[in-house]
Copies of this chain bind each other. A is one copy, B any other.
Amino acid sequence: MFAELDTPCLLLDRTRMAANLARMRGRIAGLGGKIRPHLKTIKSAEALPLIFDGGIGPITVSTLREAEVFAGYGIKDMLYAVGIAPQKLPRVSRLLDQGIDLKICVDSMQAADFVVAQSQKSGRRIPVVIEIDVDDHRSGVPWQDLNQIIEIAKRLTHGADFRGVMSHSGESYGLAQDDARIKAADEERVRILQAVDALRSAGGIACPMVSVGATPTALASSSLEGVSEMRAGVFMFFDLVQAGIGVCSSDNIAISVLATVIGRRDDKGWLIVDAGWTAMSQDRGTAAQLVDQHYGIVCDIDGQPYQDIVLARANQEHGIITCRPGSGASLPPLSIGDRVRILPNHACATAHLHENYVLVDHGDVTGTWSRFRGW
């Protein structure tokens, strides 16, 4: 059914994606919450109708390019969830001038100061949240440092458009037990709400926006009380890293790379395909998991995984398929010209390398969605 396609190319099983979206929507709605989907994974305007089953937005973005592109498709409510630098603020102001309600985030008084300065300079108060570090993962004011959170919020309340707080439970990507993810989600909520309480009681400062999330915690939360929105992105596609920690199964993974066999080395136990790291990425996120999936799980043309067959190496345009070391499996009887599908470790990284998604619905190719990149 894929005979017309040049390879390598990225297949997107829209049926699976729709099911993944329904699962997340059902889960968050069941907790009385709202979703602000992160579009850094998909980066495709054509996907918006499926993502927003009616209506459009709100969204999370990871680059100003994403904000600018999606602004062109009518989305108004955005959170740019990566720390800001002063050089980026003129682009933020231009989006605000176009009527986009773009929230940015800061985690220092220095950043608060230049956001205030730009608000004054541009004549428009910039909407801003404080990023709180709830799990020692990356950015944010440490959740314990309530004094600093209050000081920054005061500064922003007076000179910008302070909206609230956000956190990202990034350490949850490493949690392979359900109860550990439930605990991480609970801790994130408790810790960010401590900041919200401190702002209210110490400073009389309201936090209409209390934004948390990551795919693993979004699917594990036991409560969203006090939280205004959940952010998650990779759940739309899922991937082997998520499957490896038990957040999904490999049957839920909506993207795969279609590749063609270009060589067979029986002397070495290798099949060589035309999907190297330009098609798969160099992500090795499963390397530290219980089962290392190397550069991906190899499936037949219908998407059914071969038992213990992996993409063992990825050069620029060559991929080497082998049996999983120690598995006792044997190479499938494929020869040059035969095709396989490869499930990726990390959907964000693999999708990022492709210009288009080739849509597959119930096994049929039904079209393409374009995809952008850049900053």
Binding site for B on A (CB under 8 A): 3, 6-9, 40, 62-63, 82-88, 91, 107-108, 110-111, 114, 136, 138-139, 142, 170, 260-265, 267-268, 272, 274, 277-279, 281-284, 315-318, 320, 335-337, 348-349, 352-353, 355, 373-375
Question: How distant is A278 from chain B, measured CB to nearest CB, in Å?
Answer: 6
In contact, B318 and A139 (Cβ under 8 angstroms) = yes
Which residues on B sit within 8 Å (CB–CB) of A170? 315
In contact, A86 and B317 (Cβ under 8 angstroms) = no
In contact, A274 and B62 (Cβ under 8 angstroms) = no
Which residues on B sit within 8 Å (CB–CB) of A8? 375
A260-B85 contact given A138-B272, A278-B352, CB 8 Å threshold = yes
A261-B317 contact given A278-B373, A336-B108, A373-B355, CB 8 Å threshold = no
Residue of B267, B283, B318, B336 near A282 (CB, 8 A) is B283
Q: Which residue of the partner chain B has the closest CB to A335? A: B110
Residue of B267, B272, B317 near A142 (CB, 8 A) is B267
Q: Which residue of the partner chain B has the closest CB to A65? A: B6
Q: Is the interface of A mostly helix, strand, loop or mixed?
A: loop
Which residues on B sit within 8 Å (CB–CB) of A284? 282, 284
A262-B85 contact given A62-B316, A110-B336, A282-B349, CB 8 Å threshold = yes
Which residues on B sit within 8 Å (CB–CB) of A9? 375
Instruction: Report the Cα distance A117→B150, complex, angstroms.
Output: 75
In contact, A85 and B138 (Cβ under 8 angstroms) = no
Instruction: Report the Cα distance A102→B53, complex, angstroms.
Output: 49
In contact, A108 and B263 (Cβ under 8 angstroms) = yes
Instruction: Report the Cα distance A274→B320, complex, angstroms.
Output: 33
Which residues on B sit within 8 Å (CB–CB) of A277? 283, 349
In contact, B316 and A348 (Cβ under 8 angstroms) = yes
Complex A-B: 7 CB contacts under 8 Å: A6-B87, A6-B88, A86-B337, A110-B335, A142-B267, A279-B375, A355-B373
Residue of B6, B87, B337 near A375 (CB, 8 A) is B6
For the complex of A and B, the 8 pairs showing the least CB-CB separation, nearest first, are A83-B262, A282-B282, A85-B260, A62-B317, A83-B263, A86-B337, A82-B317, A85-B337
In contact, B352 and A86 (Cβ under 8 angstroms) = no
A337-B138 contact given A87-B260, A282-B281, A375-B7, CB 8 Å threshold = no
Which residues on B sit within 8 Å (CB–CB) of A375? 6-9, 274, 278-279
In contact, B138 and A63 (Cβ under 8 angstroms) = no
